[in-house]
Every structure is written in structure tokens, then in C-alpha cells.
């Protein structure tokens, strides 16, 4: 349903970014837990989370009540993904998705689909296609939603008529909670289970 000339012009305007290829070939998420943990479990990150939670306590309570997802998990996800909104990404999403869709064969099918989703999202939410910024993988907003997740799980929690995961904190937090709820979050189940190893 998109105009061919418009799509072609947008793709032609995208810029290949070698730094995106470099980043995806050595993602932090591939580190073992003892190394990955050090990135996030730090006093500054914890203090920032407490401050963020306190500053938006009423909103967190409303989101938690609506989606049945405790506030601490929403805080933690936003803290890990964007340091409570301080770093939502500096790459043009169009550049990221074209670079990965056309120049990263290992996952080109996935990122090509996300590029198509981004075109649809841009039209649905009136996002300026060539200006939207995100991560090196094309993830957007405080919760770092890829285009297909944005389209499927983002919510208009401030009733503004659009789903804005950058400037609307209600939309951003509500969308993280909705993502968890849709994927089967059950507030009555434990989030951590004790385990012990038994020698052979």
C-alpha cells in the first residue's frame, strides 16, 4: 500500500553505516552474565532508577494497575534499555535498517522486514521517516521497540491520539507494560526461582 517512488526515494536517501555493522557483530548482549551485569548493576544506575521511579510514582502506579505489571520491572527495563530515557539512540532508524537489511546477510531477512514495518509505522504515527533516531539495530524510544513491536504493542496511554515512545512517558511506560502483559506476564508467579547444582 505504499507508493513505490516514495519508498525508493527514502531508501536511496539512507546512508550505509559501517559502525552499525561493527556494533551488531559484537553486541554487548552476547557477553557472559558476569561481564554484562557490570554494565547495569552500578550505583549510578540504581540511584537513577530510584529517582526516576519517585519522580513518576503516580504514573507508575497507574500503569502497574492497568497492566498488572509491577513498577519495578518497568523501571528496570527502561533503565537497561535507555538509562531512563537519557540515551534513546543516535542513529537514524532508516540508516540502521537499510544498512542491516541490505548489507548484513546473516540477518538481512529480519531487518528487511523491520524496514517494511518502519515504513508502515511512519505512515500510521506520522513519524518523519528520515529523521527518527534509534539504536544501531533500529530500536526506538524509552523501551527500545523495533518497528514491528512498536506497531504491535505500543499503546496510547495518554489518550493523545498517537503512540509516542520518546516524548510521552505514559505511552513509553504503558507500552513496556503492555508488551509484557501480551507476552503472558502473570503477576501471581515468582520472577526468581532458587536453583542449586547437584554434582554428578
Residues involved in catalysis: 81
Q: How far apart are CA 83 and CA 55, in angstroms?
A: 15
Alpha-carbon torsion, ordered 121, 127, 130, 134, to 10 deg: -80
In angstroms, the CA 190 to CA 68 distance is: 14
Q: What is the phi/psi pair of residue 92, to 5°?
A: -65, 130
**Residue 145: left (phi > 0), alpha (psi -120 to 50), or beta?**
beta
Residues facing residue 133 across a β-bridge? 92
Strand bridging mode 91-92 / 133-134: antiparallel
Judge whether 104 and 27 are in contact, CB under 8 Å: no
Amino acid at each position: 500500500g505504499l507508493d513505490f517512488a516514495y519508498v525508493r526515494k527514502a531508501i536511496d536517501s539512507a546512508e550505509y553505516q559501517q559502525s552499525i555493522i561493527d556494533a551488531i557483530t559484537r553486541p554487548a548482549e552476547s557477553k557472559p552474565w558476569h561481564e554484562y551485569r557490570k554494565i547495569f548493576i552500578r550505583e549510578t544506575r540504581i540511584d537513577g532508577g530510584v529517582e526516576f521511579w519517585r519522580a513518576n510514582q503516580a504514573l507508575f502506579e497507574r500503569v502497574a494497575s492497568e497492566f498488572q505489571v509491577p513498577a519495578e520491572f518497568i523501571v528496570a527495563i527502561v533503565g537497561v534499555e535507555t538509562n531512563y530515557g537519557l540515551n534513546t539512540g543516535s542513529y537514524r532508524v532508516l540508516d540502521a535498517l537499510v544498512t542491516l537489511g541490505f548489507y548484513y546477510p546473516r540477518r538481512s531477512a529480519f531487518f528487511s522486514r523491520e524496514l517494511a514495518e518502519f515504513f508502515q509505522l511512519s505512515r500510521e504515527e506520522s513519524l518523519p521517516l528520515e529523521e527518527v533516531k534509534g539504536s544501531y539495530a533500529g530500536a526506538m524510544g524509552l523501551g527500545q521497540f523495533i518497528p514491528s513491536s512498536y506497531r504491535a504493542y505500543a499503546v496510547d496511554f495518554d489518550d493523545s491520539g498517537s503512540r509516542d515512545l520518546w516524548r510521552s512517558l505514559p505511552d513509553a511506560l504503558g507500552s513496556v507494560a503492555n508488551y509484557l502483559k501480551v507476552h503472558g506476564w502473570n503477576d501471581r508467579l515468582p520472577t526468581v526461582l532458587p536453583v542449586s547444582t547437584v554434582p554428578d
